Chain A
Amino acid sequence: MNDFLSTSLQILKPLLLHGFPNTFLLSVVPLFFSLILGIIGGVLGNSKISVLRVIAKIYVYLFRNIPFLIFVYVAYYGFPYLGVNIPPLTTAVVALAINHGSYMTEIMRGGLNTIRREQIEASASIGLNIFQQYSLVIIPQTIMEVAPSIVGQTILLVKDTSIISVIGISELTRIGRQITMLTNSPFLVFFYVAVFYYVLCFLFQMLSNWSEAKVKKYIG
């Protein structure tokens, strides 16, 4: 029993102190950027100009049909090839942001579709220009409406952070693998790793439910 406890502590310490915070940051930072990409993509996807719609569609289609790991490798080798030298961490954040930007695009595109024409007309009727209409009325309303979906989407982001362990980023999965080489209980290690991910995903799920209730309360 003592063995079990001491092994557990040996495993839990690095996971808790380094793995969990890193994975958390690696989820939240790309989330922010993927949202921005999603807003741009969503607006393009609903545009009256068909070229823009096609660009958005291709963006979404590519990431829906090509594995994320391939994209991580492409980014990892691609940036230096283009002469851009950035640390692996930045590559990871960029890769995550662009990949999940495609999912956000789909969410935003759907959400923008549901904004009633009347809200747009009302914003036009008080003299707001197109940019103001979007930034003050249309996009805030869309985000509030799709907030639960966006937060739910974060769960996928959290899981994808495990994949960037291949380019040497120190997060839960990579630290887990390193620990298995030190201790002799892979079951326990990956069980604890799984628990950390589970907790993180669970938190985001709760956040999603909370935001859904909040939006319903104020916006109806």
Chain B
Amino acid sequence: MDSMLIRFVTRNFRFYLEGLETALSASIISLLFALIIGLVVGIIRYSHKGILGTIAKIYVSAIRNTPLLVQLYFVFFGLPRLGIVLSAFQTGVIGLSFNSGAYIAEMVKAGFQAIPRGQIEAAESIGLSVHQRFRLILIPQAALQIVPAVGGQMVQLIKDTCLLSLLAITEITKAATEVGNKTYMFLQAFLFAGIIYLIVNMLLNIAIDLFERKINYAR
């Protein structure tokens, strides 16, 4: 039994490795886009400006109250209809970006809201413009709370890449499916995939903890 497992791993590892590569690149690219989206939407949500604020609110609400899979299908099947033809990978990244973007937007908003009113009043009283207030006071202070939360979203994003397998993208889970189809050892294939996710996220968690500790030390 044990030697069978070892053979299983050594023969099929390269599939998983390719899948891991795809999953990681999808996560990182999506995270970058999500950060941009999240920052913009989050700041809009925080300053509640009229129509823009309402659109932002609807966007976030729609994402948070519907499943990621449905959002992915929406983009995957819908975009070609609009004449936009992209690769599956690109479509997947778009879906993940908009999904994580909404959650990050809420974290950004919360981070800003956590800043005591006194800080803002002090900034106003020494004559800083809105732009300066944001750059010099609000963003640095909000970052302290936002960064750890975003770390958590990164872990979530790695888990989310799993759904890309249903869009025929060869990431970890799809690799497992293919290995399963090849060897008929489905259970082992998916267990191995689970272990990969676990290890990746464990490392990510450790990195986030170290980073958080560094931030708190600087406080």
Contacts and interface: CB of A to CB of B under 8 A. Distances in A.
| Direct A–B contact in the complex, CB atoms closer than 8 angstroms | yes
Interface of A: 62, 64-71, 73-74, 77-78, 81, 155, 158-163, 165-166, 172-173, 176-177, 180, 185-187, 190-191, 193-194, 197-198, 201-202, 205
Contact of B197 (A67, A155, A187): A67
Given A73-B186, A194-B74, 16 more contacts: A65-B155, A65-B159, A69-B163, A70-B194, A74-B187, A78-B187, A81-B187, A158-B67, A162-B70, A176-B70, A187-B77, A190-B70, A190-B74, A191-B74, A197-B70, A205-B65
B66 interface: yes
A187 B84 CA distance: 13
Given A66-B159, A67-B159, A155 B65 contact: yes
Contacts of B5: none
Interface string B194-209: 1001100110010000
A71 B194 contact: yes
B27 interface: no
Nearest 8 A-B pairs (CB), nearest first?
A186-B77, A67-B162, A162-B67, A65-B201, A201-B65, A159-B67, A77-B187, A67-B159
B175 to A, nearest CB: 12
Contacts of A201: 64-66
B69 interface: yes
B70 A173 contact: yes
Main DSSP-derived SS at the A contact region: helix
B70 A193 contact: yes
Contacts, number: 108
A177 B73 contact: yes
Contact of A69 (B78, B162, B186): B162
B107 interface: no
B194 A173 contact: no
B134 to A, nearest CB: 31
A195 to B, nearest CB: 9
A187 B67 CA distance: 15
A161 B67 CA distance: 9
B66 A69 contact: no
A76 B161 CA distance: 20
Nearest to B69: A162
A165 B74 contact: no
Contacts of B187: 74, 77-78, 81
